[in-house]
């Protein structure tokens, strides 16, 4: 779906017109993928609008930048305030928020020293990422996720998404909605843009961060919800074949939210319907983000958005 534009983008502390948020083709990021970014959702609620886990997302942005020795000249508080400013200025809710830190126009060598750090924050309407409430049909990709000590998987870096593109394009080309990558040891890692959860015999499993999985904010939220619901949950290495014999499998992610999986490599998971535990967690997650249950974990940052026009889902 083409990006639906909004009015302003936050750039280095100022709100500038959407059309003016442009880069020179010789910018370092264009050639070497030198960016780190975030994806955040702002939800419409009966009592107003609220951004989901804003400080955690912006802290991960700063962590990603630190891994790549990018010095961001803004504090966590300033970045969070920038997100609130742009969301309120654009008057679009619900929306998806995309902060990005990149190396701009300066020198063309691989060394990033002479290229300035630029920070942008945009927001725009974005509906469901994976279609199909009954569950997604996915495959195991022939492409592995990033091997340890190559591209750091804990950094949400633009360059990592070349690997995500390979996984996602292969899946689509073969008629699946999404692909799951294995790690360098052949163990389950994650989807091209989602963490993976497996349920078997009442226990919830998800791969550890050491399996080259991103430290997903939704993953963390689901782990927290599961523990509070009294559901047994464990982070451990998962062999590929456990996916096929699982009772339930689901994705988590800011874009995908909590997404049941119907089949993997055309093997139907469980009885082919979203499972009880997946539903329990999804219900709890959506009740909190949609403001239908109290925000008991302090996950929501309220924003004053006078949405000028309804947003298409």
Ligand X SMILES: Cc1ncc(COP(=O)(O)O)c(C=O)c1O
Active site residues: 156
195 touching ligand X, by CB under 6 A: yes
For residue 38, the surrounding DSSP H or E stretch is none
Rank residues 135 and 216 by Cβ distance to ligand X and give the closer one: 216
94 touching ligand X, by CB under 6 A: no
253 touching ligand X, by CB under 6 A: yes
Q: Are 36 and 61 in contact (CB under 8 A)?
A: yes
Rank residues 194 and 284 by Cβ distance to ligand X and give the closer one: 194
Closest residue by Cα to residue 13 from 68, 81, 76, 114 = 81
Show contacts with ligand X in window 123-142 (CB under 6 A).
none
Rounded Cα distance, 64 and 79, in Å: 14
- Mark the segment that binds ligand X (CB under 6 A) among 17-25, 200-208, 239-247, 251-259: 251-259
179 touching ligand X, by CB under 6 A: no
Q: How many residues does the chain have?
A: 313
Provide, rounded to whole angstroms, the least separation between the CB of residue 69 and ligand X.
22
- For the chain, strand residue ranges (E) read 8-11, 14-17, 35-37, 40-45, 48-52, 95-103, 117-124, 136-140, 178-182, 188-191, 195-200, 203-206, 233-235, 248-253, 257-264, 267-268, 300-303
Rank residues 39 and 291 by Cβ distance to ligand X and give the closer one: 39
6 touching ligand X, by CB under 6 A: no
Q: Are 303 and 48 in contact (CB under 8 A)?
A: yes
171 touching ligand X, by CB under 6 A: no
27 touching ligand X, by CB under 6 A: no
216 touching ligand X, by CB under 6 A: yes
Rank residues 253 and 274 by Cβ distance to ligand X and give the closer one: 253
211 touching ligand X, by CB under 6 A: no
Q: Are 135 and 262 in contact (CB under 8 A)?
A: yes
Angle between helical axes of 76-90 and 54-67 (0-180°, round to 10): 120
The pair phi, psi for residue 231, each rounded to 5°, is -95, 135
83 touching ligand X, by CB under 6 A: no
8 touching ligand X, by CB under 6 A: no
Q: Which two tokens stand for residue 11?
A: 């750039």
Q: Are 289 and 221 in contact (CB under 8 A)?
A: no
Provide, rounded to whole angstroms, the least separation between the CB of residue 122 and ligand X.
16
Provide, rounded to whole angstroms, the least separation between the CB of residue 159 and ligand X.
12
Q: Choose which of 194, 211, 264, 284 interacts with ligand X (CB under 6 A).
A: 194
Contacts of 112 (CB under 8 A, 6+ apart): 28, 32, 34, 69, 70, 103
Q: Choose which of 183, 190, 248, 284 interacts with ligand X (CB under 6 A).
A: 190
Q: Choose which of 82, 94, 112, 193 interacts with ligand X (CB under 6 A).
A: 193
Site string for ligand X, 217-246 (x = CB under 6 A): xxx---------------------------
254 touching ligand X, by CB under 6 A: yes
Q: Which two tokens stand for residue 311?
A: 């947003």
**Residues forming the site for ligand X (CB under 6 A):** 39, 164, 190, 193-195, 214, 216-219, 252-254
């Amino acid at each position: 779906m083409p990006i639906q534009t909004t009015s302003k983008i936050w750039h280095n502390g100022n709100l500038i017109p959407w059309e003016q948020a442009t880069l020179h083709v010789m910018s370092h990021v264009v050639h070497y993928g030198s960016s780190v970014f975030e994806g955040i959702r702002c939800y419409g609620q009966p009592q107003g609008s609220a951004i989901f886990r804003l400080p955690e997302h912006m802290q991960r942005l700063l962590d990603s930048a630190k891994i790549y020795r990018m010095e961001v000249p803004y504090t966590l508080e300033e970045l969070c305030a920038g997100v609130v400013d742009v969301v309120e200025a654009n008057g679009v809710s619900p929306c998806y928020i995309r902060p990005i830190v990149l190396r701009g126009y300066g020198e063309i060598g691989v060394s990033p020293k002479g290229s300035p750090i630029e920070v942008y924050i945009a927001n725009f309407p974005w509906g469901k990422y994976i279609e199909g409430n009954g569950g997604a049909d996915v495959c195991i990709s022939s492409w592995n996720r990033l091997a340890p000590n190559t591209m750091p998987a804990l950094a949400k870096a633009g360059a990592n998404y070349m690997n995500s593109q390979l996984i996602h394009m292969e899946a689509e080309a073969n008629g699946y909605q999404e692909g799951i990558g294995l790690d360098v040891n052949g163990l389950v890692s994650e989807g091209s843009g989602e963490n993976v959860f497996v349920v078997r015999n009442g226990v919830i499993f998800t791969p550890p961060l050491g399996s080259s999985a991103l430290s997903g904010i939704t993953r963390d939220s689901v782990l927290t919800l599961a523990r509070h619901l009294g559901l047994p949950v464990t982070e451990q290495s998962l062999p590929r074949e456990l996916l096929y014999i699982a009772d339930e499998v689901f994705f988590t992610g800011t874009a995908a939210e909590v997404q049941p999986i119907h089949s993997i490599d055309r093997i139907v998971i469980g009885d082919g319907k979203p499972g009880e535990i997946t539903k329990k967690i999804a219900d709890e997650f959506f009740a909190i983000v949609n403001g239908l249950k109290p925000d008991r974990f302090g996950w929501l940052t309220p924003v004053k958005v006078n949405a000028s026009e309804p947003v298409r889902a």
